[in-house]
Amino acid sequence: MDELEGGIRRVTLPLPNRPGHVHAYLLPGDDGWTIVDTGLGLPDAKERWASELEDVPGPVRTIFVTHFHPDHVGAASDLAELTGARVVQGRLDFEQCDLVWGHDEWADVLVVWFRRHGVPDDVMLELIEQGDVWRAVTRYHPEPELLEPGDHVDGWQAVAAPGHADGQLMLVRDGILLAADHVLDPISPTVGLWPRSRPDPLGDYLSALEAVIALDARIALPGHGDPIADPPPARGR
């Protein structure tokens, strides 16, 4: 666990695929901690979190999920069971989370989608198999409290960051931006077109980069990689 400015702590969790890690953040609050993102729901997720939280004084009150990708939402249920904290997730993001991970028929929807876009059968089979692997480590919470952009979580304001995921939410407070996978450095996030998603994710992404510039944060804490302090609007540009 790393100590960052403002009493924020960072936990780095393993990923089997690149970039090899994902960050979760602990935000100090008046009556306890808010944990931002959860890592994969691997078999040892609960034990790993229990040992990370051993040195954390005070209770965890809230688990905030930035978006429904497995490395961010995967251990939400484990962490909720461990801490007894409420889980908070964006309304749109939770709809897509449940659609993709909560229904086995989603694989059939993807097969039709991949065929329509000319994906060769062998590649498609591999993609579908990968989806099954991710599903097994995506233990999202079935009944989170739902949030809209502009709402607040423990004093932090939620900001829409579509593109990488339609309903992705960042958090901002006092010049510190919890950037999720919206602003990364030196890589940039994947932006893809998926069935039943918004029609122009790249347009959404570019517009949401304008929002990062307008926020004019001092530092951005991303889901992957080091803090961005050069400053975040420059990275947005």
C-beta of 164: minimal distance to Zn ion in Å?
Answer: 5
66-105 binders of Zn ion (CB under 5 A): 69
Residue closer to Zn ion (CB basis): 93 or 181: 181
Residue closer to Zn ion (CB basis): 166 or 181: 181
Placement of tokens 């964006």 in the chain? 90
- Between the alpha carbon of residue 27 and those of residues 6, 197, 198, 222, the distances in Å are 9, 31, 31, 14
Q: Of the ranges 96-104, 122-130, 181-189, 198-206, which one interacts with Zn ion (CB under 5 A)?
A: 181-189
C-beta of 55: minimal distance to Zn ion in Å?
Answer: 28
How many residues interact with Zn ion (rule CB under 5 A)?
2
C-beta of 56: minimal distance to Zn ion in Å?
Answer: 25
Which DSSP helix (H) or strand (E) runs through 22?
strand 21-28
The answer to whether 68 and 197 have CB atoms below 8 angstroms apart is: no
Q: Which of 37, 52, 154, 181 binds Zn ion (CB under 5 A)?
A: 181
C-beta of 96: minimal distance to Zn ion in Å?
Answer: 12
Residue closer to Zn ion (CB basis): 40 or 53: 40
C-beta of 121: minimal distance to Zn ion in Å?
Answer: 27
Residue closer to Zn ion (CB basis): 69 or 139: 69
Residue closer to Zn ion (CB basis): 154 or 181: 181
Q: What is the largest CA-CA distance in the chain?
A: 54
Residue closer to Zn ion (CB basis): 9 or 72: 72
Q: Which residue is nearest to Zn ion (CB)?
A: 69
Residue closer to Zn ion (CB basis): 56 or 137: 137
Placement of tokens 């089997």 in the chain? 16
Q: Of the ranges 107-115, 132-140, 145-153, 175-183, which one interacts with Zn ion (CB under 5 A)?
A: 175-183
CA distance 58 to 95: 32
Q: Which amino acid is at 37?
A: D
CA distance 224 to 186: 10
Whether cis (ω within 30° of 0) applies to the bond prior to 195 is no
42-71 binders of Zn ion (CB under 5 A): 69
Return the bridge partners of 176, or none: 173, 219
Q: Which residues of 70-109 are buried (b: 16+ CB within 10 A; e: fewer)?
A: bbbbbbbbbbbebbebbbbbbebbbbbbebbbeeeebeee
C-beta of 209: minimal distance to Zn ion in Å?
Answer: 16
Contacts to Zn ion by CB under 5 A: 69, 181
